[in-house]
Amino acid sequence: MAFFLGVDVGTSNVKALVVDGRGRAVARASEPLALRTPHPGWAEQDPNAWWKAAARAIQRAVGRGRAARKIDAVGLSGQMHSSVFLDAKNKVIRPALLWCDGRTSAECRQITERVGEENLRDWVSNPALEGFTLPKVLWLRNHEPEAFRRLAKVLLPKDYIRWQLTGGLATDFSDAAGTLMLDVAHRRWSREILDALDLPQDLVPEVGESTAVLGTISAAAARATGLAAGTPVVGGGADNACGAVGVGAVAPGAVVASWGTSGTVVCPTDAPKVDPQMRAHTFCHAAPDTWYVMGVMLTAGGAFAWYRQQLAPELARKKDADILLNKEAAKVPIGAQGLTFLPYLQGERTPHRDAEARAAFVGLSLAHTRAHLTRAVLEGICFGLRDSLEIIASLGMDVRDVMITGGGASAPFVRQLQADVYGKPVVPVDQAEGPALGAALLAAVGVGGFRDLTAAAEIVKRRPPVAPRPAAHAAYEEPYRRFRALYPALRAAAR
């Protein structure tokens, strides 16, 4: 029996997952990571801590000695955008600036002023946002010039693990697409943007396909992890791309909405389609000659977790807290009797591109109860995800149904709520393994374990669809219109 390993470098942990030749999970392990916040709005991690956690997780998942499984190939996934700064000897210069680090607003303005929105759209298919890698490079140049003078290479988190495993510096197109340095449409590094910002072309590593073998396990890594020296390591992918692979969203026509701490809507496409206003992202997918449009909510499940902890503390300690809150919310009419929640607790990306956006309850009265607030929060999250679906539809992509994963797929009330708000059938996907599974499937495809990613996607099990109720969808049009009108009104009042 063949076995394949997927390793996912997240923000809170590193996961290792072993799957067999049929794509079934047979072993898993997770190691926690610490987050450093030296100033408000900053977020950093030590890349060497990622490696130590990855080595431990791999050891536990693969096993030791005679009980160890022979792994046929390794795939890597990881948090997008986060920057690893290496010197000429491949030593880490300083802690990595993470995807959620917000210190680079001035650098984003610098990029936009130097390059222009039109060139950003043409050269890299995305706007300059604080989360991306390129603004972090400029921040290093502007604020830590001595460290910048030592800078020889910028890597992404999973690719630092690749270097530790193989000794090679490389990345894949899906992860490179989130750096703001890749020509997404033509799948090559953008010489134009690097030249415009006076950055050397060799700052970035070799780039290849997600299923291409980009290195093999070194003898030193074999000793550290229990993997066999010479085991192939494929390109792997960004966590969102690997997450889409893990739920079977690899070809045009598939749409997946995911609730984690953040929320995403991913729609694969066979051509690089870019929203004229760049409200959504356009990235390379892990499948060859495939791209995806992605809308991002910075707080989706995170907004509900905040609400549960802060406004329902007596329930937060109970295992069935979400079930109890959902039952309360189900008793409240559609639209929460005029109460609207804007879920912008940490700013927003889609559709507003505003790091300073903030959350609000609007329309409160003495008639409202906690149940109304709960329903408003859940509706607000669904409205935010619908914003992304509306952008995707405006680009001419046909959304027939929406696969749902994460917290949005966990409860019957929330599944029906999404169907009614979107006006589309929602299809829950029985897949809790996330990006680590996608990385393992990429490894399997890379060495011939599956014919291609379409064949690998056939392992995904989908539950019966939940159909929208026509009357309920019609009833949501007015609350959704109210939701969309509130952000510009409140933003104008706050300036």
Pairing of strands 426-428, 402-406: parallel
Backbone torsions φ then ψ of 442, nearest 5 degrees: -60, -40
pLDDT confidence of residue 114 = 96
Q: What average pLDDT does the segment 170-180 reach?
A: 98
Q: What average pLDDT does the segment 395-423 reach?
A: 92
- Residues 330 and 404 grouped into a single domain: yes
- Residues 301 and 239 grouped into a single domain: no
User: Domain of 318: which CATH number?
Assistant: 3.30.420.40
3-state class of 252 per DSSP?
coil
Q: What average pLDDT does the segment 307-314 reach?
A: 90
- Residues 230 and 357 grouped into a single domain: no
Res 241 pLDDT > 90: yes
Q: Is residue 257 part of a domain?
A: no
pLDDT confidence of residue 65 = 67
Q: What average pLDDT does the segment 188-215 reach?
A: 97
Per the CB < 8 A criterion, the answer to whether 310 and 157 are in contact is no
pLDDT confidence of residue 492 = 80
3-state class of 90 per DSSP?
coil
Q: What average pLDDT does the segment 136-141 reach?
A: 98
Q: What average pLDDT does the segment 384-410 reach?
A: 91
- Label residue 384 by pLDDT band (50, 70, 90): very high
- Residues 30 and 130 grouped into a single domain: yes
Q: Which tokens belong to 134?
A: 């390129």
Give the rounded percent of residues in the chain with a pLDDT score beyond 90. Answer: 81
**Given CA atoms 168, 160, 182, 80 in this order, what sign does their dihedral have?**
positive
Residue type, 280: A
Q: Is residue 285 part of a domain?
A: no
* Residue 110 belongs to domain spanning: 3-247
Q: Which of 247, 282, 306 is the last residue of a domain?
A: 247
Dist CA 454 CA 275 (whole Å):
27
Q: Is residue 255 part of a domain?
A: no
Q: Which residues are designated catalytic?
A: 239
Dist CA 210 CA 174 (whole Å):
7
pLDDT confidence of residue 356 = 84
Res 437 pLDDT > 90: yes
Res 281 pLDDT > 70: yes
Average predicted confidence (pLDDT) for the chain: 94
Q: Which of 210, 225, 247 is the last residue of a domain?
A: 247
Q: Which tokens belong to 256?
A: 């997946």
Residue with tokens 């990881």: 78
**E strand segments, 211-269:** 213-216, 232-234, 237-238, 256-259, 263-269
- Label residue 255 by pLDDT band (50, 70, 90): very high
pTM of the model: 0.91
Question: What is the number of alpha carbons within 13 Å of residue 8 lying toward its C-beta?
Answer: 28
Dist CA 385 CA 405 (whole Å):
13
Per the CB < 8 A criterion, the answer to whether 43 and 92 are in contact is no
pLDDT confidence of residue 66 = 64
pLDDT tens string 80-91: 999 999 999 999
- Residues 206 and 353 grouped into a single domain: no
Q: Which tokens belong to 486?
A: 């509130």
- Label residue 176 by pLDDT band (50, 70, 90): very high
Q: Is residue 36 part of a domain?
A: yes
- Residues 102 and 197 grouped into a single domain: yes
Dist CA 202 CA 155 (whole Å):
12
pLDDT confidence of residue 151 = 98
Dist CA 211 CA 389 (whole Å):
29
Pairing of strands 263-269, 291-297: antiparallel
Q: Is residue 83 part of a domain?
A: yes
pLDDT confidence of residue 67 = 61
Q: Is residue 370 part of a domain?
A: yes
Res 438 pLDDT > 90: yes
Q: Is residue 100 part of a domain?
A: yes
- Residues 243 and 94 grouped into a single domain: yes
Taking CA atoms, 115 is separated from 121, 326, 478, in Å, by: 10, 47, 40
Res 427 pLDDT > 80: yes
- Residues 207 and 337 grouped into a single domain: no
- Residues 224 and 365 grouped into a single domain: no
Q: Is residue 366 part of a domain?
A: yes
Question: Structural domain tally of the chain?
Answer: 2
- Residues 154 and 301 grouped into a single domain: no
Per the CB < 8 A criterion, the answer to whether 131 and 81 are in contact is yes
For 3: left if phi > 0, alpha if psi spans -120 to 50, otherwise beta; the answer is beta
- Residues 304 and 403 grouped into a single domain: yes
Res 495 pLDDT > 80: no
Q: Which of 184, 212, 247 is the last residue of a domain?
A: 247
pLDDT confidence of residue 132 = 96
- Residues 92 and 210 grouped into a single domain: yes
Res 360 pLDDT > 80: yes
Res 432 pLDDT > 90: no
Q: Which tokens belong to 273?
A: 């389609």
